[in-house]
């Protein structure tokens, strides 16, 4: 069989793979994209978009309930069917037609099927009907196969048919009760969404909620989940799981049990590299693919990895940033053009290590970028930490009757610049980009002082942080 040849082949048409191929084509290369499921990947159909769809109605309703005059207009409860209907629209009923036309319009050739390496720069793509197509890359192959949910080795867990984030985000009928193992972002977001839809949720977490963020973030989300009626158990370790009829029973280490109609496991992600034929190119199936700052896999001059699979920062926006760098550098290298791989250059993803913005869409939202105070101290920075209560702002009282929120700014005292910011509060996600710009731009605090926030908005917190610190004008 003769192989089809392209300058670049990208495995995985998630948001990240699509962008790598698009940039390379814009740079003058030919590109093929291989997808085993839906073009658009996890984010569009089973992760970011449907989860935010499930969360929005509850957020809007609670915001209205905290504004006198508006709250009187709320005369009924949230309608779960309406929420699911809106979620279905957001995911286009799991139909990727529009994304497929975008791929075609971008001049990328799409192959549907499961790709496996057969050797260096060579792939076999097996379609659903068993047809095999051989592909060869003249310059590069990029692996953008993403990640899947981890199922831990808890006795009985697999037989109990637990949900992962896929089932939780594509649910057709909201269960009466849901137990969730995992107090990270997915666990907290789904606890919020399901509790808002009237489901009795029990959230089981080994450590404090959102343990990778500033401690006050997890504490605020913990209290708000309890206010929503969620039972939160911290220090909870599942010892075994079994299903009896239409109930799942989780036995905890300390002897108690939690019973629910469904069980969601949200404890982390594993790379989708186990069935890729990696052994044919000297790599180990099931491993994350470690890359340099241009997204090239260590030890190769033709193999790249972008998005979740390289384990640098498991977010769609950060993967797409890597994709822009990778697509551009692959084209530059193929065409013998200069490569701009100095820190903050066009062909590197420097921000992955310095300024990764992330939002947890709980209620309150948690929006953070850069380092937490403890991570900065551990990394050896000489820091100052400024905390401020968002509820004290005029903008907060204009927004809601009982606005609760908090900010923490972490300052590098040696350079007088911000290296980390965390906001907690309703609507704070929209404030995150200003913090990201301040960190990436290494804006000196003395200059930040002149970025005047509009009154009365929550952005006035920038002024309050600088006033509290007192050094910007000292």
Q: In the complex, which residues of this chain contact ligand FAD (CB under 6 A)?
A: 11-17, 34-37, 41-43, 47-48, 51-52, 114-115, 144-146, 165, 169, 186, 272, 276, 307-309, 314-317, 319
Q: Minimum distance from CB of 125 to ligand FAD (Å)?
A: 7
- How many Å apart are CA 316 and CA 356, to the nearest integer? 11
> What b/e sequence results for 115-137 when a residue is b if at least 16 CB atoms lie within 10 Å of its CB, and e otherwise?
bbbbeebbbbbeeeeeeebebbb
Token readout for 147 is 């990640």
Positive or negative torsion for Cα 149, 126, 49, 308: positive
Q: Which is nearer to ligand FAD, 177 or 429 (CB)?
A: 429
Residue (18 or 416) nearer to ligand FAD, CB: 18
Smallest separation (angstroms) from ligand FAD to the CB of 41: 3
Nearest CB to ligand FAD, comparing residues 15 and 409 = 15
C-beta closer to ligand FAD: residue 324 or 469 = 324
Asked, as a colleague might, if the bond just before 473 is cis with ω within 30 of 0, I would say no
Structure tokens at 356: 């990764």
Which residues 6+ apart lie within 8 Å of 107 measured at CB?
25, 31
Least distance (Å) from ligand FAD to the CB of residue 416? Answer: 31
Which H helix or E strand runs over 437?
A: helix 432-440
Cα(207)–Cα(152) distance, integer angstroms: 16
* Minimum distance, C-beta of residue 101 to ligand FAD, in the bound complex (Å): 17
> Based on CB atoms, which residue is closest to ligand FAD, 242 or 311?
311
Smaller CB distance to ligand FAD: residue 115 or 428? 115
Q: For the CB of residue 227, give the shortest distance to ligand FAD in the complex, in Å.
A: 23
Q: How far is the CB of 219 from ligand FAD (least distance, A)?
A: 22
Task: Give yes or no for a contact between 186 and 165, defined as CB atoms under 8 angstroms apart.
Answer: yes
Nearest-10 Cα torsion for 60, 65, 70, 73 = 90
Please state the closest distance from residue 150 (CB atom) to ligand FAD, in A.
Answer: 11
> Which of 346, 350, 341 lies closest to 324, judged by CA?
346
- C-beta closer to ligand FAD: residue 133 or 202: 133
């Amino acid at each position: 069989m003769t192989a089809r040849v392209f300058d670049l082949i990208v495995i995985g048409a998630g948001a990240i793979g699509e962008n790598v191929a698009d940039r390379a084509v814009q740079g003058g290369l030919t590109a093929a994209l291989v997808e085993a499921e839906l073009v658009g990947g996890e984010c569009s159909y089973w992760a970011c978009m449907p989860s935010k769809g499930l969360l929005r109605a509850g957020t809007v309703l609670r915001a209205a309930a905290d504004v006198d005059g508006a709250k009187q207009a709320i005369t009924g409860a949230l309608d779960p069917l309406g929420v699911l209907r809106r979620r279905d629209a957001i995911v286009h009923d799991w139909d990727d037609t529009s994304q497929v036309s975008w791929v075609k319009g971008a001049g990328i050739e799409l192959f549907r099927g499961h790709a496996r390496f057969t050797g260096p720069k060579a792939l076999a793509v097996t379609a659903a009907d068993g047809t095999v197509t051989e592909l060869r890359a003249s310059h590069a192959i990029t692996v953008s196969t993403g990640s899947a949910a981890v199922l831990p080795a808890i006795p009985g867990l697999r037989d109990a048919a637990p949900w992962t984030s896929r089932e939780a985000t594509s649910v057709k009928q909201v269960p009466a009760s849901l137990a969730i193992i995992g107090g990270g972002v997915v666990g907290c977001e789904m606890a919020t969404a399901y509790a808002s839809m009237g489901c009795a949720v029990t959230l089981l977490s080994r450590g404090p909620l959102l343990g990778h963020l500033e401690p006050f973030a997890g504490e605020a989300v913990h209290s708000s989940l309890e206010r929503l009626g969620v039972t939160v158990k911290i220090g909870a370790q599942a010892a075994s799981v079994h299903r009896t009829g239409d109930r799942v029973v989780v036995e905890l280490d300390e002897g108690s049990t939690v019973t629910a109609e469904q069980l969601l496991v949200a404890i982390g992600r594993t790379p989708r590299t186990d069935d890729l034929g990696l052994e044919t190119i000297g790599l180990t199936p099931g491993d994350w693919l470690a890359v340099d700052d241009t997204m090239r896999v260590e030890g190769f001059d033709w193999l790249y990895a972008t998005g979740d699979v390289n384990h640098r920062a498991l977010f769609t926006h950060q993967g797409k940033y890597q994709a822009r760098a990778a697509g551009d550098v692959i084209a530059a290298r193929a065409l013998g053009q200069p490569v701009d791989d100095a820190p903050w250059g066009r062909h590197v993803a420097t921000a992955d290590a310095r300024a990764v913005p992330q939002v947890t869409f709980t209620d309150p939202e948690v929006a953070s970028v850069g380092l937490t105070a403890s991570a900065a101290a551990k990394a050896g920075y000489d820091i100052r930490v400024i905390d401020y209560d968002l509820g004290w702002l005029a903008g907060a009282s204009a927004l809601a009757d009982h606005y609760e929120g908090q900010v923490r700014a972490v300052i590098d005292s040696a350079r007088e610049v911000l290296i980390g910011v965390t906001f907690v509060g309703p609507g704070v996600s929209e404030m995150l980009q200003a913090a990201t710009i301040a960190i990436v731009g290494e804006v000196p605090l003395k200059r930040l002082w002149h970025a005047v926030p509009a009154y009365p908005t929550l952005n006035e917190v920038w002024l309050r942080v600088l006033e509290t610190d007192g050094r910007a004008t000292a």
